[in-house]
Amino acid sequence: SAKTLEQIKEEGKLVVGTSADYPPFEWVILDENGDSKIVGIDVDIAQLIADEIGVELVMEDMPFDSLIPSVISGRIDMTIAGMTYTEERAKQIDFSEQYHQSVSNFVVLAGEEGKYTKVEDFDGLKIGVQKGTVQEQMVTENLPNAEVVSMQKTGLLIEALKTNKVDAIFIDDIVTIEFVAVNEGQIAVVADVVFENPEQGKAVALAKDNKELLELVNKVVLEAVESGKITEFIEANVSLQASSN
């Protein structure tokens, strides 16, 4: 079961789970020694939390749809994965204060972005989404005639789009910017075509009724938002991503 703040201190490490396929929130780079390393906005936030607790940070990569079960079982102490607050998820886990707001965008093959002017234009098409995400839920609920193709890692979605296995993919806007930059001239964002109901923001998620730990996380997150640190993390990771392509 989930560790308390006291137990995390005793262990001397904070284990944070993520799905490292989502730049600039989290992705994998090779460090100077050729070892792979998870970096991103969420890793920077995780480091602030580990520092506040006074323990070492250990990041664990897994498929996005394994994160909530892993929080519940206590395999990880929390997840920071660009995870959007939803009421449904909040029945299973606790969310911290939110640290980032965004909407989701459709991405299509370059040159086709002008064909779409409203979300309904995607109904009846094959839409790729990451398994277990709000994007999967939004497409399933709002586009009854779409064929929803769910995949575990975002990189697979990009490949599926580029090889014509799906007509469009649907992911968080700030993440689409990163993927379009890497695949310039091949894929493009469909601008201004968004669902009406506003999405909630992203937050850290941890096991229910872990009061002391949640209070500490909230303190760190609020301070990072108010001091402008989050904005700095976003800028730094967007440029890191641009330079690591």
The Cα–Cα gap between 84 and 124 comes to 26
Using CB under 6 A as the binding rule, whether residue 133 contacts ligand ARG is answered as yes
Q: Is 22 in the site for ligand ARG (CB under 6 A)?
A: yes
**By CB under 6 A, residue 130 contacts ligand ARG:** yes
Instruction: Reduce the DSSP state of residue 28 to 3 states and report it.
Output: strand
Please tell me whether residue 237 binds ligand ARG under the rule CB under 6 A.
no
- Which residue lies nearer to ligand ARG by CB, 21 or 44? 21
* Rounded CA separation 101/199 (Å): 8
Which is closer to ligand ARG, CB of 88 or CB of 196?
88
Closer CB to ligand ARG, 121 or 173, in the complex: 173
Any idea what the Cα angle at residue 94 is, between residues 11 and 82, rounded to 5°?
Answer: 90
Q: For residues 245 and 241, what is the distance between their CA atoms, to the nearest angstrom?
A: 6
- Beta strand segments in the chain, E: 13-18, 27-30, 36-39, 56-61, 78-79, 94-100, 104-109, 126-130, 147-151, 168-172, 187-189, 202-206
Shortest reach from residue 101's CB to ligand ARG, in Å = 11
Residue 134 is a binding residue for ligand ARG (CB under 6 A): yes
Residue whose CB is nearest to ligand ARG in the complex, by number: 133
Residues interacting with ligand ARG, by CB under 6 A?
18-19, 21-22, 25-26, 64, 81-84, 130, 133-134, 154, 172
